[in-house]
A and B are shown apart, each in its own frame.
Chain A
Amino acid sequence: MTEIAVVGFAHSVEPKTSGATNGVELLVPLFQRLYADLGITKGDIGFWCSGSSDYLAGRAFSFISAIDAIGACPPIMESHVEADAAWALYEAWVKLRMGEVDTALVYGFGKSTAGELRRVLAMQLDPYTTAPLWPDATALAALQARLGIEAGLWTEKEMAEVAARSTRAEAAALLEASYVADPLREHDCAPYADGATAVVLAAGDRARELCDRPAWITGIAHRIDSPSLGARDLTRAPSARTAAEAAGTDSVEVAELHTPYTHQELVLRRELDLADGVRVNPAGGVLGGHAMFAAGLARIGEAARHIMSGAADRVLAHATNGPLLQQNLVCAMSASPSRSGPAR
């Protein structure tokens, strides 16, 4: 089986940029930084794949103009997913496994603050019975959070502790704030942010050339759960569990989880069977700023960085897509490529 690794990562996230909605401005600096870091040019990239959403920019085919950032002349081998760019990384991983190319650049971008995202995300729900009510994304998350509280699976205090760890605030103090959407407080909800992420993948010896300590992907898998909010047990994310089982997540030291709400970290800790010693989102995850459709890919990049920097030997990254953890991707990485679990 082809050995594939993350060898480069660049990411930007800002509360609100003044920049254009087309993504070019966000991406050009990231690409330039990666070329410089890795000593490559755009011509060294064999496959490009991106993830974004037309509804973030408010226009059809919004990803097309972002291709300008690449300088796709001569023409390139390229694809795009309408999803978090972590799924674009998955598509690139498949291409590398085929052996057609040995290097891929994956990117995700979005100007989340261009629209009223809380409303926009209602468009992901059933268009006949649910979306016409325009339930906003925070309210939906609050309903999920309360289900877990009612079931005794977690408490508001535990949710605050998740936030406290990333903001270095006192959980008790956080709990004094009023509700944004009962039982969620401001600290429980990641603010939407503008941002972009770029990750370079490389195979085999090419990866070793480009990086001293490549983050070898030992397993990557994703699954989706039913869209029916009623049919799902919203305190669970079976798709995350089966994706993790397929990816193989034994003995990870660090987990970078894509959790826009504090209680979702608690859901995932359980589904991913994370041991107590595992460091989860040591830099705060997305709670500091959620760059939609770039954030999941950024989790993979952040997790890989722990290996590339030598801080860890075995990590896990998670990305989510869709409402209330409907679709989940798990990527396990190691300092050694030999640690390969089943890769489905």
Chain B
Amino acid sequence: MTTPLEAPLELSFDYTRSLGPVLGRFMAGLAERRITGVRGSDGRVHVPPIEYDPVTYAPLSELAPVADEGAVVSWTWQATPLEGQPLDRPFAWALIRLDGADTPMLHAVDCGAPEAIGAGTRVRVRWAQQPVGHIKDIACFEPTSAPASPTPPASAATPSPTAASPAEPVEIMTTPIRLRYTHSASPEESRYLRGLAEGRLLGQRCPECDQVYIPPRGACPVDGLPTTDEVDLPDRGILTTFCVVNVPFPGQRIKPPYVTGYILLDGADIGFLHQVLECAPEEVRMGMWVEAVWKPREEWGHTLRNIDHFRPTGEPDAPYETYQRHL
């Protein structure tokens, strides 16, 4: 009974990033299998390009083409690749200084074993099959036995006579982000959730102010102490205030319009949000008595969703004075 409940939580979104002129042209170059750096205020060529100078903070704009091969400056071994990384077999991470660049860039090197890489190892870009103007157009790097060609840098695919890229700058790049967490409920909340799974509504009283909280809290927000004494609450109460939802949104369970509002259970000192159905939205009133309509028992879990909705009981409305301190 005392183990807190846990459940997976996933954040997953494809972020749409607008690019400024510098990164936009860098990405456009990648689509043509060319790598461009940018010249900083101290003359250093930064690859990948940076938008603002680290010394003067000035916006940078002088693009400089660099080679698609260079030397490893530092490296480490990723024995077990993680989700989203450039390779799904063991590989090396390396800081690589491309020929023509003054700063190293971070990327993966597909070299089979840690013995195959070291400081100074020459590597070259392995391009993605179909570059699209994204950093992932550089699939990874691979060792090369080609002799170092310090300057001028040359690209195999497209000769690039000037710094400026002829291609249209990339305006938007999408970066998918997927992160997984284990969400844990507090011990107080876990007791409440386990109660719900049995069809009970368990509140807890703050030992200091005697107010009954549902759900119970790891700390009474007024006194900063965990709520303690358990209180079984009935599944009926007052609708204190509400709104009529008319807006459709992803994941919506009920076709609008419908009513969501704060239900103050009889004996509780705080309301919670739930739905009020079985009543036309225009008939719903502040102070209306409502009762829970539970889902079939076989559908119950550790959630307040076990209550499908609340519906009016038909009793006379509670006087405003009786619930106004809960608004």
Contact = CB atoms under 8 A, between A and B. Distances in A.
A190 B183 CA distance: 23
A150 B74 contact: yes
B76 A143 contact: yes
Contacts of B223: 71
Contact of A132 (B44, B74, B175, B226): B175
B279 interface: no
Interface string B43-76: 0101110100010000000000000000001111
Contacts of B326: none
Contact of A130 (B47, B54, B83, B106): B106
Contacts of B136: 132-133
A123 B179 CA distance: 10
Contact of B106 (A71, A133, A147): A133
Interface stretch (A164-172, A226-234, A295-303): A226-234
Given A127-B175, A182-B114, A134 B85 contact: yes
Contacts of A134: 82-85
Contacts of B181: 21, 57-58, 114-115
B91 to A, nearest CB: 10
Interface in A92-128: 111, 113-116, 118-120, 123, 126-128
A144 B74 CA distance: 8
B170 to A, nearest CB: 10
Nearest to A119: B82
A251 B181 CA distance: 45
Contacts of A228: 46, 50, 54, 103
A147 B224 CA distance: 48
Interface in B205-237: 217-226
B284 to A, nearest CB: 29
Given A71-B224, A139-B76, A128 B23 contact: yes
B271 to A, nearest CB: 17
Given A25-B186, A133-B108, A230-B105, A119 B83 contact: yes
A57 B180 CA distance: 10
B182 interface: yes
B186 A20 contact: yes
A114 B184 contact: yes
Contact of B184 (A18, A59, A146, A147): A18
A73 B224 CA distance: 9
Q: Which of B23, B76, B93, B225 has the most CB of A within 10 A?
A: B76
Contacts of A234: 74
Contacts of A307: none
B104 interface: yes
B21 to A, nearest CB: 13
B85 A184 contact: no
Given A21-B183, A133-B135, A134-B83, A230 B74 contact: no
Contacts of B77: 179, 181-182
Given A58-B11, A58-B183, 10 more contacts: A25-B187, A68-B219, A114-B182, A114-B183, A119-B82, A128-B173, A135-B106, A147-B74, A182-B114, A228-B103
27 contacts: A19-B186, A20-B186, A24-B186, A28-B224, A55-B179, A57-B181, A58-B9, A58-B11, A58-B183, A68-B218, A68-B220, A70-B224, A71-B221, A119-B179, A129-B23, A129-B105, A133-B108, A133-B136, A140-B106, A143-B76, A143-B95, A146-B74, A146-B75, A147-B73, A181-B78, A182-B75, A231-B46
Interface of B: 3-4, 9, 11, 15, 17, 19, 23, 26-27, 40, 44, 46-48, 50, 54, 73-78, 82-86, 93-95, 103-108, 114, 119, 134-136, 173, 175, 177, 179-187, 189, 217-226
